[in-house]
Amino acid sequence: MQAFSSSIPWTFPVGTLGELTRQSEARAQAVTSQIGDLTARCRDLPPALPFAPTLRGDQLRVIAEVKRASPSKGAIAPGLDAEAQASAYVRGGAAAISVLTEPARFGGSLEDLQRVSAAVTVPTIRKDFLVAPVQLLEARVAGASVVLLIVRALAPDQLPRLMDTAREIGLETLVEIRDERELERALAVGAAVIGVNNRNLETLVIDQATAPALIPKIPGAIIGVAESGITQPSDLAAPAAAGADAVLVGSAISASADPEVAVRALASVPRQSAVRGNL
């Protein structure tokens, strides 16, 4: 594993991301005693569904998110049935399903992940503020194919450790960044799928220029995913032009009266060829 080095020291995140990361650390500590059992259960599982290959195609691939609430919007769809919602997304053409498992601010759970993973035939992602290997074991046992790793939330030694754990137990990763320095860290640990979040999770401010600016710097062999701020097909023009392979969409489709139709509209946007990798 290539080590990341920088003259700029890592600092613990502040704002909303800092709060959620601290809470995740406490949740991870509370289940540390389950590591042995979860590890044993992982050994008996069949291979997870492949993720990265599903994000290549003539159209922008849609990663559709099951999301009841968020810190920025509050309640989005509090009565949402995770299994039914995910099934509608798949009928609409979603390539993968992202499931929020953070309980306090997003209203999610591992039970949602387990139910969705059992109900659909596409890869599922545990989307949370993961900080410890035990949380990856939980995700694998719940049926996930993928875990989200947020570079800003992870110290330089944490990110490679979690990447190694993921590989050992057969999970793929969606490694999330928001600037060039974080892209360097993602590349240093061998990320195969990199998401660029238009939302600064510390301040919750969205800058829709972030993904279009950074995706061209992701090498073409690596999947580039645009995240946040996407509400309608016209919002896909900029990430598509930048060479994105996929988009992750949550609030707009979770709140939609017809999630199948909402996803189908997004999944019909053509992917554009672009030269990438100019970091």
Q: Is 217 a catalytic residue?
A: no
Residue tagged active-site, from 102, 138, 172, 176: 176
Residue tagged active-site, from 24, 67, 102, 172: 67
Within-domain flag for 3: no
Residue tagged active-site, from 65, 138, 182, 260: 65
Residue tagged active-site, from 228, 251, 254, 256: 228
Within-domain flag for 4: no
Task: Based on DSSP, count helices (H) and strands (E) in the chain, helices before strands.
Answer: 11, 10
Within-domain flag for 69: yes
Backbone angles phi, psi at 4, to 5 degrees: -100, 135
Q: Is 198 a catalytic residue?
A: no
pLDDT for position 6: 55
pLDDT for position 276: 86
Within-domain flag for 164: yes
Within-domain flag for 274: no
Q: Is 180 a catalytic residue?
A: no
Q: Is 67 a catalytic residue?
A: yes
pLDDT for position 1: 44
CATH number, position 28: 3.20.20.70
Residue tagged active-site, from 145, 227, 254, 256: 227
In contact, 239 and 229? CB cutoff 8 Å = no
Backbone angles phi, psi at 247, to 5 degrees: -130, 150
Predicted model pTM: 0.95
Q: Is 19 a catalytic residue?
A: no
Backbone angles phi, psi at 271, to 5 degrees: -80, 145
Q: Is 127 a catalytic residue?
A: yes
pLDDT in tens, 29-68: 999 999 999 999 999 999 999 999 999 999 999 999 999 9
Residue 195: C-alpha distances to residues 81, 140, 147, 253 (Å): 26, 20, 12, 19
The number of folded domains in the chain is 1
Q: Is 228 a catalytic residue?
A: yes
Within-domain flag for 226: yes
Domain region containing 129: 15-267
Within-domain flag for 74: yes
Ranges under pLDDT 50 in the chain: 1-3
Within-domain flag for 182: yes
Where helices occur in 215-273 by DSSP H, the ranges are 237-242, 251-254, 259-267
